[in-house]
Amino acid sequence: MCHNAEVSSCRPFDRLPEEEPTMTASSSRIIFPLDVPTLTEAVSLARRLAPHLAAVKIGNQLFTAEGPQAVRAMHDLGLRVFLDLKFHDIPNTVAGAIASARALGVWMVNVHASGGPVMMTAAAQAVAAFPPRERPLVIGVTVLTSLSDLDIRDTLGTTRTVPQQVAHLARATQAAGLDGVVASPQEIGLIRQACGPGFLIVTPGVRPADAARNDQQRVMTPGQAMRAGADYLVVGRPIQAAVDPVEAARRINAECHEP
C-alpha cells in the first residue's frame, strides 16, 4: 500500500499523454469518475475497467466517504488518480490542500478558476519546487458543464456568454501557472486559440451519440471532442450505466481514435 512517506513508490506523476501507466490501455484518453458511495464499489469498477482507462477520477462523493484510502486503493491497482475536489478557498488554504494532494501521489488535482489569480498562483506555487515527475498536474475548472448562459448571468452577474467566460478563465489559469483546464468540449477551440497547443484540456460533458445528456448542457461525442483537441475525456454514466461497462469503455476508446 502506498503511504505519504513513500510517494516516490506510488503511481508516477506521469506528465505526458503519451506515457500511460502499465495497467491501462496505452492509447486511452478516458478518465473514469468513481462517483460511487463506497470503496468496495469503486475498487470493483476500477479493476474491471483498468485496461481501458488513462486514469480514474475521485470526486467529492467517494473522497468524503472514504478519504485518502480511496486514492491508495487505486494506486494499488496501478491506476493514476485525478483528485477532483475543485478547491475554492483563500490562497493559503488551497495551497495547503494542493500540497496534501501531492503527498498522496495523485496524478492530477483541480481548483476552481473563479477563485481568482492569487488563489490559482498559490496552488501552482505549492508544488512548483518539485520536479515534474514528483508533482501533480494542477488544472482549473472553468464553467461547469451543467451551466448555461442564463445560469452564469444570473449567478455570476457577468455579461459574458459561457464561451467568453471559459476563454477568460482559461487565460487567467494559464497566467497563474497552472497546467490546464477543465472545460466542455464546445469550448476546446476557443481555449486552444487563447492558450496554445501545450495547454492541457480535460473534457467532461462527453456523450456517445446514442446516450442521454442527463444534467450536461454542453456536450459532444467522444470522437468530436478528441478531433476538437481535447487531451483527456471524463466519461462516467455512458460507461457505468451500460449493460456491459467494459465493452462500452472499449467502444468509446475506439471512437476516440477514429480519424
Active site residues: 86
DSSP state of 215: T
Residue with cell 493514476: 80
DSSP state of 10: S
* CA distance linking residue 1 with residue 142, whole number of Å: 34
d(CA 117, CA 120): 5
- Rg of the chain on CA atoms, in Å: 17
Angle at 161 between CA 58 and CA 231, to 5 degrees: 40
Q: What are phi and psi of 234, to 5 degrees?
A: -95, 115
What sign does the dihedral 92-94-98-103 (CA atoms) show? positive
User: Which segments within the chain are labelled E, that is strand?
Assistant: 30-33, 55-58, 81-87, 108-112, 137-141, 180-182, 200-203, 232-234
How far apart are alpha carbons 174 and 196 in whole angstroms? 10
Please state, in angstroms and rounded to a whole number, the distance separating the CA atoms of residues 165 and 39: 36
